[in-house]
Every structure is written in C-alpha cells, then in structure tokens.
Amino acid sequence: MAGIALDLSLLVLGIGVLYFGAEWLVRGSVRLASSIGVSPIVVGLTIVSLGTSAPELVVCVVAALGGNSDLAIGNVMGSNLANIGLILGLTSLVRPIDVQSRVVWRDMPIMLLVTLSVIPLSLDGELSGWNGILLLLFLPAYFAFVFRSVSNEPSSASAEHSRFAKESANSSAAMRGQDVLLILSGSGFLVLGGYFIVEAAVGVASALGISQVVIGLTVVAVGTSLPELATSIVAVARRQTDIAVGNVIGSNIFNIAAVLGATSLVKPIPIPESVLSRELLAVIGISLLLFPLLRRGWKIEKWEGAVLVAAYIGIGFVLLGPMSQ
C-alpha cells in the first residue's frame, strides 16, 4: 500500500508540474509570437493548441522511450475523449459557447479525417516510424491551411486582442527575454512532469494489475488534458468562446498528428484491434455528436454541455467495464 500511495503522490505532483509547464509554455509562446507581429488568431489556432498538447507529447515520448507504448495510445485516445466530452462539456456549463459555422464545416471535418487516418495506417497492427512521418507531414499542410484561411478572412479581433497586440508591439527586448525564459522553463517542467507521470502510472498499473492502456485512458489522459481545460475556461470567462472550441479541436488534431507521429518515430506503437474497434470508435462517435449539437444555432448550450459530459461518463463505463474483468 505504501508503494501505491507513493506512486499516487508522484502522479499528482507530475500533473501539477505538467500543468504549470504548459501554462508557462503557452503564455511565453503567445506573447513572443505576438511581439514579433504574428496574428493573435493564428497564435490561438496553432501555438496555443500545440502548447496545450505538449503534455501528451512529452508523456507519450517518455513512455515510448521506457518501453511503455500501451500507455501512449491510451493517453492520446483518452485525452481526445476528455477534450470533447469533459472539457467542452464542463466549459459550456460555465457559459454557453458560441461557435462560428466555419468551425463546423472546416475544422471539425479535418479533426475527423486525421482521427480516421489511424485506421489505414495501423492495419498491420502498429504505427511504424514511416506512419509517424506521414502523420507529422500533415502538420505543415495544416499550418499553411490555417494561415491561408485566416489571411482571407476579415479581421475580427476584439478590443482586448487589439490592446494586447499594441502592448506586445511595444515590448522591449527584456520582455522578449522573459518570454523566452518562460518557454524554456515551461519545456523543462513538461519533461519533468511527463517523467513523473509515466513512472507513477506504470507503478500503479503494476501494483494493481491494471493494464497500462486503462491507466493511460483515464488518470493520465485527464491529467494531461488539464491545460486544455484551463485554457478553455479562461477563454469562455473572457467571452472568447471561439478560442475554447478551436483549442479543443486543434489539440485533438495535434494529439493524433504530432503526438502519435513523434512517438512512433521514437518507437513503433502497437495498435491492438481492440483499440480500433473500441477506443478509436468512441473518439469518432463523440466527435460526431458535436455536429447535431452545434448545428442547432451554432451554440453549445448548458444542457448540451451536460449531454457531452454524460456521454463521456457513459463511454468511460463502456470502455472500462470489460477491461476491469
């Protein structure tokens, strides 16, 4: 019991270190990018989403290096489930989320396409290094698409964004140095937190006889999704609801393309058929649930957020039931 208590304490510590690391990385990246003239909208669609997905990336790479690839695939699937069901659901319970129609017809289909790509890429039972290269090559194309789409749209920056951009433009070299320090410190904390989480999760799984996939799908997945939750709640509190939805969708795209892609380059990731028929199907199902909810007036109401949370809990019981037997 003492060993399990120690592992759980290490897990909580790792999640805390991971959270602050992601917070510093995102804050420093956004301020630095804005200070050199990058649009806040582009920063939100790319850097923020990539930054909040950094915990998943670190945890999965550390897990792969330690020979615990099962933890990696469980973490990604669980994080993507949590991003939609738990994070969007809880965020909309705080305040209804307005969504632009382009998010439904442009960004969500891309998220689904990337998620579905796991099926043909893993037909041989694993994601190999070559599969990882293909996933990673999608990212530059996605970045280019986002930049081009945003550049063709009229500016809709809010007064807060305009003020932030003006302040950033006047930032001194010292301030930029502070931003770089934040980025480096955040990256270091991410690595340290990722190491703590993987060590603790493997210890708990071994002590209790639980599959690493289950640990990755639950505790680790929710823990590494804390940055998305924090970012989305802050965005909604500031009435920047587009950022909340964009952050979740962007993070889900990065989790598949960047996290699984980079991890499989470190070490091929075994993809059991059960993952394709259960966990991946669950991610696709809860993603499809967003379409009818958003189509009703381009808004996620509070009761619809409750539906997403209930769906997440229900899917959890379905997925974990057979695993616990």
Tell me: pLDDT of 104 over 90: no
pLDDT band for 63, please (50, 70, 90 cuts).
confident
* Side-chain half-sphere CA neighbours of 129 within 13 A: 3
Most confident of 162-166, 196-200, 210-214: 196-200
Whose structure tokens read 């616990």?
Answer: 324
Specify the CATH number for 2-323; select among 1.20.1420.30, 3.40.250.10, 3.40.50.2030, 3.90.550.10: 1.20.1420.30
Question: Residue 274's pLDDT is what?
Answer: 83
Token pair belonging to 315 = 């899917």
CB 61 within 8 A of CB 284: no
Question: Residue 151's pLDDT is what?
Answer: 66
pLDDT band for 178, please (50, 70, 90 cuts).
confident
- pLDDT (average), residues 129-152: 86
pLDDT band for 284, please (50, 70, 90 cuts).
very high
CB 76 within 8 A of CB 57: no
The dihedral formed by the CA atoms of 323, 76, 246 and 309, expressed in degrees to the nearest 10 = 10
Lowest mean pLDDT among 44-53, 70-79, 81-90: 44-53
Domain ranges in the chain are 2-323
Question: Residue 287's pLDDT is what?
Answer: 92
Identity of residue 273:
E
Question: Residue 74's pLDDT is what?
Answer: 86
Question: Residue 201's pLDDT is what?
Answer: 80
Share of the chain above pLDDT 70, in %: 85
Question: Residue 45's pLDDT is what?
Answer: 66
* pLDDT, mean over the chain: 81
The residue ranking higher by pLDDT, 322 or 209, is: 209
Q: 232 to each of 120, 135, 176, 245, 284, how far by Cα in Å?
A: 32, 26, 25, 8, 21
Tell me: pLDDT of 19 over 70: yes
pLDDT tens-digit map of 150-161: 666 655 444 444
Tell me: pLDDT of 44 over 80: no
- pLDDT (average), residues 48-70: 81
Question: Residue 138's pLDDT is what?
Answer: 93
pLDDT tens-digit map of 224-244: 787 777 777 777 776 767 667
pLDDT tens-digit map of 179-194: 888 888 887 887 788 7
Question: Residue 42's pLDDT is what?
Answer: 65
Question: Residue 296's pLDDT is what?
Answer: 63
Within 8 A by CB and 6+ apart from 232, the residues are 87, 88, 91, 243, 244, 247, 248
Whose structure tokens read 């028929």?
Answer: 277
